[in-house]
Structure 1
Amino acid sequence: MTISTTLCRRMTGVRTFFTFKSSTASKPPTTKTVTNKPPLLWKPNDSSSSNDAVSLQLLSWGRGSSGQLGSGNELTRLYPTPVFSLLVPPSFRLSPSPGSLSSPSPEKSTMEVGISCGLFHSAALIDGQFWVWGKGDGGRLGLGHENTVFVPTLNPHLGSVKSLALGGLHSVGLTSLGQVFSWGYGGFGALGHTVFTRELVPRLVEGSWTEKIKHITTSGTHTAAVTESGEVYTWGREEGDGRLGLGPGRGPDQTGGLSVPSKVKALPVPVAAVACGGFFTMALTEDGKLWNWGANSNYELGTGDKVGGWQPKLISSLEDVRLVQIACGGYHSLALTEDGKVLSWGHGGHGQLGHSSIQNQKVPTMIEALADECVVSIACGGSASAAVTETGKLYMWGNSKDSQLGVPGLPEINPSPVEVNLLMEDDGLGPHNVLSVAVGASHAMCLISRSSCTE
């Protein structure tokens, strides 16, 4: 496939498999390879289906002091290490990534798999059920308690889940029926219920919308949802920066928080996907145009100036470009074009823009270091960024203070994309391809496929 003249395969579509590559990194010097297979978390009920199943693995790295790596301990991991494995049907799909345009659903239903990172907690979505682990205070794991959980644990309180979005002290889930549930600490209205309450198990968000919700996203303290017709509703923290997009007289109802989901009426066009940054919000239309609003003191909105506010603005410099995914960090943004190029803008102090410097970027600018790659998905943490290519390679850049870039020996500020080479054990499963990535504040995870499978 010629990168410059063909469109990248969308990662949310029905799985088609690549030519597998071997990791270019060599194994650490040892006299004998010790096999330590990760536990098998899921496999088809039908034994005949297991024969042609595809093997997937979840890997995690970075800071583990709150159990967010799922490794059973509090150790920091310098490079990606397997957490668990799955056996899935060849027709599996990746659940829609936050901020991405979804591919058309297949005529025949198939299972979906997805991953998500929050501030200090993590989750994996597998065929409508989800496993959670990490810091539990505030009830952010939704397990009915506030204890820290060090290994992936099935949440029995919500099923038929279509997508997950993990925030700071809270989490949000979207079901196949188009209903939104939230749980955790409700400070500043982040749950869409009442302000400053704790929900230890998922609770339905009762917004004023009259149709199904098709897309959700959240940040540390504010949340957005998109209806099937493209209306956007927001709720959560608002400190006068306009991140909720609600305008004069539609601000906080209690001490800086709006707990009632409210429609962003100022958007003049239907929206397909949304992404929440630290203090701003972005919206992507079906035809790939970008609108955003909120804080802009670090050029987060990409308008070329520092003028922010609640009024949604179209990013004029991207009017001739079709975007297929957007992602937000604390103070920076990424966008993926339909031909596989990555743009970045906003705060660059930790190298999170990928432009080989720590300078802020006023307008969306292509990351030259990835120009020869065809990128199919992107992700942001607080001050780190990631990209997955069509050939299954993973690149990361930005803040590496907690080893969240997955490459040992990097400086704390790493302003250029580096390929993350997975040091796989000799477990008999063969080479790997990275399918998706999720980045938290100080840790990251990726989902990989393997060229063969065994139970």
Structure 2
Amino acid sequence: LSLPEDHGELLICGGTNWSTNGRKKAIKGDEKYENIGKNLFKPHRYKSLIGIKVSRAITGCCSNHCLLITNEGKVYSWGRNETGQLGHGDKKRYDTPKPIDSLQKYSIVNAATGKNHTMCLTQHGEVFAFGENAQGQLGLGNLSTNVASPTKIAYKGNPIIDIACGGEFSVILDCEGSVYTFGCPEYGQLGNNTDGKFFVAGNKLFDNVKNPYRIPLWVEKMKGGTELRSPVLLVALDSKKRVFTWGFGGYGRLGHSEQKDEHIPRLLTVFDRPGRGAVQVFAGYSFTLALNEMGWFFWGGVGGSRETTMYPKPISDLQVTIIRNDHFVSLRSIGCGYRHCAVAADESVIVWGTGTANGELGLGENRKSSANPDLMKSAASLFVQRVACGHRHTLMIVRADSEKDKSALDELVVYDPVQC
């Protein structure tokens, strides 16, 4: 396993008051952080990261914490930390990216974030997890309130090549194409043919899965691109370009023309036809995107204000936005957040979303939302290599090789949370 060959500087826009994002006020014990961090309505540089070469930026649609991986495989984390999801051995909020000390001896190639937990993948296919474990989402073989330091998961199979986190569950993919899940089974998202629900003295409880469970998947070897960014939904793409979805069916986010939960992987037939196979899939909080040879498809609801649709439908306005001179631009990276999306394509960044009051679209303070895909003009002079969308924020890795690249970066505001 290896990191991408290219790297750059990390930028951020959106809400950076990690204790209050999505809340009316900070929880008890975090009141001291209420005035630290602010809404960044355009891309900002992190003062502490200037000069650091970043290969991956990681966050999730229900995450208020972030990770980055340098070109040397060193991992940093920052943001909300109420359950130890930053891996620093404590539950203190960090506003400045900090190296995870206990993982510095490993070469980290990927990571994933849930609502309150995190997983990191090493070069040799080992997985470390930390944060909340009340539903067994860390895969440690037990249940615990939180684990503040990186701990190797209870797995002894083939090397792992990909990982993903839901809100309160996790997924790993091994080198032979087997998919394993663990954590909360509430809507069938573990793919084990049950929602794990039972009642004790009138109280609804769930039979959480504490160890990695292998899904008896009847599909071809899974591509190294299992996509999971939604708290209660899993989307998988196999080597035959077929798409499978399972978990929570609300808003039609599974794409099966109904809102029924699916407890085992179910094939999306629209992509199982000649010339219709999917190339990439992306899951947001309550919506899903897929790209095939015909263009972009959307299903689900509350996805950047689009109408709720219970089956994959073409996105005509996005097709228009990403076409230049009668040809499709080169799409490098896509991020799906809570209510917004971002696309890095050629020399542009395309964003859309509504209910986005924290600046996560990077369109400026006077335009906090956009129902239709639009260009992030504040990034027009930047070459954005990769994007990642969180709950109320967006991360971007920007090329910083040439003098032109560095000059464009020098025009941006430098963000130093300590000085807020």
Q: TM-score, normalised by structure 1?
A: 0.74
Which residue is equivalent to 1:279? 232
* Residue matched to 1:133: 78
Compute the displacement of 1:409 (Å): 4.6
Counterpart Cα distance in 1 of 2:211 and 2:347 = 41
Superposition pairs for residues 388-399 of structure 1, below 5 Å? 388-389=344-345, 391-399=346-354
Match of 1:404 among 340, 350, 360: 360
Equivalent residue number for residue 117 of structure 1? 59
> Given the superposition, is the C-alpha separation of residues 196 and 138 from structure 1 closer, same or farther in structure 2, using an over 3 Å criterion?
same
Task: After TM superposition, give the deviation of residue 343 of structure 1 in Å.
Answer: 2.2
Partner of 2:307: 359
- Listed one character per residue, the Cα deviations across residues 42-85 of structure 1 (whole Å, up to 9, x for unaligned) are xxxxxxxxxxxx8x22110111112899xx94111111111133
Letter in 1 for 2:139: G
- Which moved further from structure 2: 146-155 or 369-378? 369-378
Q: Which runs of 5+ in 2 are unaligned?
A: 22-34, 200-204, 408-420
Q: Counterpart in 2 of 1:244?
A: 190
Q: Give 2:88's aligned residue.
A: 143
The yes-or-no answer on 1:344 pairing with 2:292 is: no
**1:306 Cα shift?**
2.1
CA drift at 1:304:
1.9
Give the match for residue 380 of structure 1. Answer: 336
The one-letter amino acid of 1:362's match is M
Answering whether residue 34 of structure 2 is matched by residue 82 of structure 1, we say no
Q: Give the direction of change, closer, same or farther, for the CA distance of 1:75–1:413 in structure 2 (3 Å limit).
A: closer
Alignment partner, residue 257 of structure 2? 304
Which position in structure 1 is the counterpart of 2:116?
169
Does 2:183 correspond to 1:183? no
Q: Per-residue deviation at 1:367?
A: 2.2
Mapped contact 1:432–1:450 kept (Cα < 8 A): no
Quote how far apart the aligned CAs of 1:413 are: 5.3
Q: Mean Cα displacement is larger for which, 59-68 or 131-140?
A: 59-68
For structure 1, which runs of at least 5 residues remain unmatched after alignment? 1-11, 16-53, 89-111, 425-430
The aligned counterpart of 2:220 is 269
Report the secondary structure of 2:397's partner residue.
strand
Q: Is the 8 A contact 1:266 1:312 kept in 2?
A: yes
The structure in which a higher percent of residues are helix is: 2
SS at match of 2:313: strand
Q: C-alpha distance in 2, partners of 1:287/1:317?
A: 13
CA distance in 1, matches of 2:300, 2:344: 21
> Which residue matches 2:29?
none
Q: Secondary structure at the match of 1:223?
A: strand
With over 3 angstroms needed to count, the CA separation of the structure-2 counterparts of 1:271 and 1:124, relative to structure 1, is same
Judged with a 3 Å threshold, the aligned counterparts in structure 2 of structure 1 residues 81 and 359 are, in CA distance, closer, same or farther, namely: same
How far does residue 395 in structure 1 lie from its aligned partner after superposition? 1.1
Q: How many residues align?
A: 364
Instruction: State the AA in 2 paired with 1:263.
Output: R
Partner of 1:422: helix, strand, or coil?
Answer: helix
d(CA) in 1 for partners of 2:164, 2:234: 10
Runs of 4+ with deviation above 3 angstroms: 12-15, 85-88, 248-256, 409-413
Structure 1 residues 423, 233: closer, same or farther in 2, change over 3 A?
Answer: closer
- Which residue in 1 is equivalent to 2:32? none
Match of 2:284 in 1: 329
Q: CA deviation at 1:259?
A: 1.6
The answer (yes or no) to whether the contact 1:68–1:121 under 8 Å persists in 2 is no
Rate the CA distance shift 1:228–1:451 in 2: closer, same or farther, 3 A. Answer: closer
What's 1:109 paired with?
none
Measured in 2, the distance between the counterparts of 1:177 and 1:153 equals 23
- Contact 2:220 2:239 (C-alpha < 8 Å) held by counterparts: no
* Conserved? CA contact 2:386–2:397, under 8 Å: yes
Partner of 1:213: 160
After TM superposition, the structure 1 stretch with the greater mean CA deviation from structure 2, 119-128 or 403-412, is 403-412
For residues 379 and 270 of structure 2, the distance between their equivalents in structure 1, rounded to whole angstroms, comes to: 41
Given that 2:185 and 2:196 are in contact with CA atoms closer than 8 Å, whether structure 1 keeps it comes out as no
* Structure-1 residue corresponding to 2:31: none
When structure 1 is superposed on structure 2, of 132-141 and 191-200 the one drifting more is: 191-200
Partner letter of residue 235 of structure 1? F
**C-alpha separation in 2, matches of 1:252 and 1:211:** 33
Kept after mapping to 2: 8 A contact 1:280/1:295: yes
Using the TM superposition, give the Cα deviation of residue 338 of structure 1 relative to its aligned residue in structure 2, in angstroms: 6.0
Distance between the aligned counterparts of 1:116 and 1:338, measured in 2? Answer: 28
Alpha-carbon contact 2:196-2:208 (below 8 Å) kept: no
Distance 2:20 2:195 in 1: 39
Does residue 433 of structure 1 match 2:387?
Answer: no
Alignment partner, residue 420 of structure 1 = 376
Q: CA deviation at 1:311?
A: 2.0
Output the CA distance in 2 between the equivalents of 1:257 and 1:401: 35
Q: Report the residue type matching 1:310 in the other structure.
A: H
* Cα offset, 1:366, TM superposition: 2.7
For residues 292 and 306 of structure 1, the distance between their equivalents in structure 2, rounded to whole angstroms, comes to 12
Q: Quick one: which amino acid aligns to residue 61 of structure 1? A: C
Amino acid at match of 1:229: E
Partners of 2:164 and 2:227 within 8 A in 1 = yes
Moved more, 253-262 or 120-129: 253-262
- 1:392 and 1:87, CA in 2 relative to 1: closer, same or farther beyond 3 A? farther
Letter of the aligned partner of 1:274 in structure 2?
A: T
**Displacement of 1:136:** 1.6
Q: Secondary structure at the match of 1:157?
A: helix
Contact map agreement 1:323 1:337 (CA 8 A) in 2: yes
1:324: Cα distance to partner? 2.9
On the 8 A contact 1:404/1:443 being kept in 2, the answer is yes
Aligned-residue offset at 1:362: 1.9
Mark the CA change 1:291 to 1:197 in structure 2 (over 3 Å): closer, same or farther. same
